[in-house]
Structure 1
Amino acid sequence: MAIERKAVPTGILGFPTAPYNENGKLDEKALAANIEFLVKEGLSSIFIACGSGEFHAINKAEYQAMVEVAMSVAGGKVPVYTGVGGNISHAVEVVKLSEDLGADGYLILPPYLIEGEQDGLFNYYKTIVENSDLNAIVYQRDNAILQLDTLQRLLEYQQIVGLKDGHGNMELNLELTQTIGDRLEWLNGMPFAEITMPAYAPIGYNSYSSAMSNYLPHISKQFYKALLEGNDHLVRGIYVDVLLPINRIRKARKGYAVSLIKAGMEVIGLPVVNTVRPPVIPVEKEHYQQLETIIKYALEKYPADNKEISC
């Protein structure tokens, strides 16, 4: 009997953070506000406890709390996917927990430390997906790079519905998308996906994870809409005025891919403090002030309620 698949997320994907209070404890109220903001702003889905949510640093109780908050706030309005990965036993455990909590699917983050052969990666993913009928999305990055024949073997498992690429090998991406086609949803998961989306969209990547949407979601939407509609003037304007300046700060320190999100959220008034867990570091004062300036300018030039934007 065929498994009835849930819809695969498309468009701009929301990746909430793991907000902590001044004592370093998970702040569930701040997390709820983060998710409410993303849903209200029209993001297509919520991916909870993934990279932006410091999957590497949260314990199982915090993981469960984050998923429960996401399920409650999303309330069926958008699908909720969880992050799984690392230690294979832990990955299987949280997949089962995600299913018990009612999640729509999960994103498989890279395995812990070891750079395995293709057969090893195949067995890693196989072991995880065999433990649940939930939708599964594989994440192509770091020590988990699937070649075409390995991915094709994995597609015997109907649970696998998408591939998220955070590796950036466009030759491999073309080989995958042109061979496999619409069997999978293709998600751009580069560290700042808006930066690379003009290269990814033409080859079949219709979705992307947006860190910036945690604090400038309307600009992310304006950018993506302009990209799809061929409005090169607006695409270039947002690219030069907003995306590139933020990306320069993001690249200034390792770990800013996570902490810069929280800084941006704090700048616009969301209840999150610029606090992260080691080995990630918080955003330094100078970079924080630079981000404030960029956000202020972006909100003035690309307002949420103005459809006629001059570039």
Structure 2
Amino acid sequence: MFEGVLFFPVTPFTASGSVDLDVFAEHVRTGLASGPGGVFVACGTGEFHALEPGEYADLVRTAVETVDGRVPVYAGTGGALPLARKFARAAGDARADGLLLLPPYLVTAPPAGLVAYTKAVAEVSDLPLIVYNRGAARFDPASAVEVALLPQVIGFKDGRGDLEELSRTVTGIKAALRDGGKPFQFFNGMPTAEATVPAYRGIGVELYSSAVFCFAPEISNAYYQAVAKGDSPLVERLLTEFFHPLIALRDLVPGYAVSLVKAAVRQRGLDVGGVRPPLVDPVPEHLDELRRITAAGLAICAEVAAR
């Protein structure tokens, strides 16, 4: 079972465009030092959509070796069904602890099709699986309960933000699993999830993925602790001075949810390269704003530490 902030590392690329496994290992080691509750490799922030199977397998293997059992390592899978099954097998071969099932691309399927998709991926691997309700993968409460009852499915991650529907999903899954005693967890998968953490916690979804942890674990951990302790003034200040400005910048260009994170990792001193097309790297004026926003968040953390 997961506890704490969840770390979704970026995938570093060299100047020639290949995956840089040495820098990736360093990135994971640096993140581990800040105490995440788990490492999710080759997922959305890790540009799963841009990786070929060999690169994917190398990344998962490197993450597993670097983490060395200290926290769970989950690997992304998804996309076209034959590839999703291939990635799932590769994650198992690389000794990952579980899978995050990302949405299939392009097509929007009915809930019954998503249930069949989940079953088809689960049947080729013994790894625990978290389903992701986002984009083209839109589970209604009934289909969410159906996949939650599958033996390998141990979590439901929401990236849609429909809190009314999510509330029905959470209560429905809990009721369906109550008698069996199966461990199950819910995850907030919204972009820049911290902005919605208070709302999600109100309906029983306490875990969340933090892209900010990639480049400023100080800020990510400070926010997590503030929420856990009920420090509303600090929560509000971090939202006002850091997270909300970051979201405003993120929303200027599609794909900045990943591009800005990689740029911020570079600004903090680790050369992870740029993003692969069709994503684009931030323009200079946006990099300047990103630097200013990060500095504001770090300044708040310094103040808190000095108390």
TM-score (norm 2): 0.94
Q: Matches of 2:209 and 2:44 in 1, distance apart?
A: 11
Partner of 1:249: 249
Opposite residue 83 of structure 2, the aligned amino acid is H
Aligned pairs (5 A) from 1:132-143: 132-143=125-136
**Does the 8 Å CA contact 1:13/1:45 hold for their aligned counterparts?**
yes
One of 146, 149, 161 as aligned partner of 2:142: 149
Q: Matches of 2:169 and 2:306 in 1, distance apart?
A: 37
Partner of 1:294: 293
Is 1:28 the counterpart of 2:28? The answer is no
Opposite residue 57 of structure 1, the aligned amino acid is A
Opposite residue 296 of structure 2, the aligned amino acid is Y
SS in 2 for 1:110: coil
Partner of 1:92: 85
SS in 1 for 2:49: coil
Is 1:281 the counterpart of 2:274? The answer is no
Identity, % of aligned positions: 36
Q: Matches of 1:301 and 1:122 in 2, distance apart?
A: 44
Cα drift, residue 303 of structure 1:
2.2
Q: Matches of 1:155 and 1:193 in 2, distance apart?
A: 23
Aligned pairs (5 A) from 1:200-219: 200-219=200-219
Aligned pairs (5 A) from 1:47-196: 47-181=40-174, 184-196=184-196
Q: Between 129-138 and 149-158, report the one with greater CA deviation.
A: 149-158
Cα drift, residue 307 of structure 1:
5.9
Structure 1 stretches of at least 4 aligned residues deviating more than 3 Å after TM superposition: none
Q: Matches of 2:3 and 2:76 in 1, distance apart?
A: 17
Q: Deviations over 1:80-110 (max 9, x none)?
A: 0000000101111111111111110000001
Cα drift, residue 228 of structure 1:
2.0
Q: Matches of 2:37 and 2:56 in 1, distance apart?
A: 22
Q: Deviations over 1:202-234 (max 9, x none)?
A: 111121000000111121111111112211011
Q: Deviations over 1:41-89 (max 9, x none)?
A: 1011110011111111111111011111101110111110000000101
Is 1:226 the counterpart of 2:219? The answer is no
SS in 2 for 1:204: coil
Cα drift, residue 27 of structure 1:
1.1
Structure 2 unaligned runs (5+)? none
Q: Matches of 1:301 and 1:117 in 2, distance apart?
A: 45
Partner of 1:5: none
Partner of 2:262: 262
Q: Matches of 1:132 and 1:50 in 2, distance apart?
A: 18
TM-score (norm 1): 0.93
Residue correspondences, number: 300
Opposite residue 244 of structure 2, the aligned amino acid is L
Partner of 2:12: 19
Structure 1 unaligned runs (5+)? 1-7
